[in-house]
Chain A
Amino acid sequence: AQRVTQPEKLLSVFKGAPVELKCNYSYSGSPELFWYVQYSRQRLQLLLRHISRESIKGFTADLNKGETSFHLKKPFAQEEDSAMYYCALSGFGGQNFVFGPGTRLSVLP
């Protein structure tokens, strides 16, 4: 069965510092990976997906199939990046959508 792990429950960085949110997954096929973000008092929303290879709000994520990882990175964190970040996986062929446990990012002034 597919599984997503995010080792850090809470990550605190100072404004302007680089940030990396870790995500590892286990899946036997070719998954689709996503990062979702939930800002305070807002709905859960898609940040980016690996298949589009976009950079959203300065965030990027690269799928590393060898390490089964999909870490989220940003070179210079901003205070408005403070939020809950969920890594998620979807499999092809009727597999379920599963979220990781989430990492709360706190960007300090």
Chain B
Amino acid sequence: DTEVTQTPKHLVMGMTNKKSLKCEQHMGHRAMYWYKQKAKKPPELMFVYSYEKLSINESVPSRFSPECPNSSLLNLHLHALQPEDSALYLCASSQERDTYEQYFGPGTRLTVT
């Protein structure tokens, strides 16, 4: 299995809801990433996990809460989001952090109403 999968594909949530995004890879990669991508913009790094430990948090608001339950799985918990948080959320993985090519999932299109 050489793919990164993400669920759900689309998510619509209200500002008071709690939801989670899920990302999975079975390539034995030890680094996993969350990115946010707004329309016609490049992906912006949010979080990096290396060996299941959070190694980088790019000053992301606390309404986004990452979790790495095991080496294959990465979650992003969402709570009290704002409409400006609507974006495509991409997950990626790499063999090791930073210096290896990243493999991207298809993304979750999030709309906050």
* Docked-complex contact A46 and B102, CB < 8 angstroms: yes
User: Is the C-beta of A26 less than 8 angstroms from some C-beta in chain B?
Assistant: no
A95 interface residue, CB < 8 Å from B?
yes
Instruction: In the complex, identify which listed stretch (A14-22, A61-69, A75-83, A97-105) lies at the interface while the others stay far away.
Output: A97-105
B43 CB–A CB distance under 8 Å: yes
Give the number of residue pairs across the A-B interface with Cβ within 8 Å.
44
By the criterion CB–CB under 8 Å, are B98 and A90 in contact?
A: yes
Over the window 80-109 of chain B, the binary record of Cβ atoms lying under 8 Å from chain A Cβ atoms (1 yes, 0 no) is: 000000000010000001110111111100
**In the complex where A43-B104, A43-B105, A44-B104 touch, is A94 in contact with B97 (Cβ < 8 A)?**
yes
Whether the pair B99, A92 counts as a contact (CB closer than 8 A) is yes
Q: Is B1 an interface residue (CB 8 A)?
A: no
Q: Does A86 contact B (CB under 8 A)?
A: yes
Shortest CB-to-CB span from A95 to chain B, Å, is: 6
- B-chain residues with CB within 8 Å of residue A34 when the two chains form the complex: 101
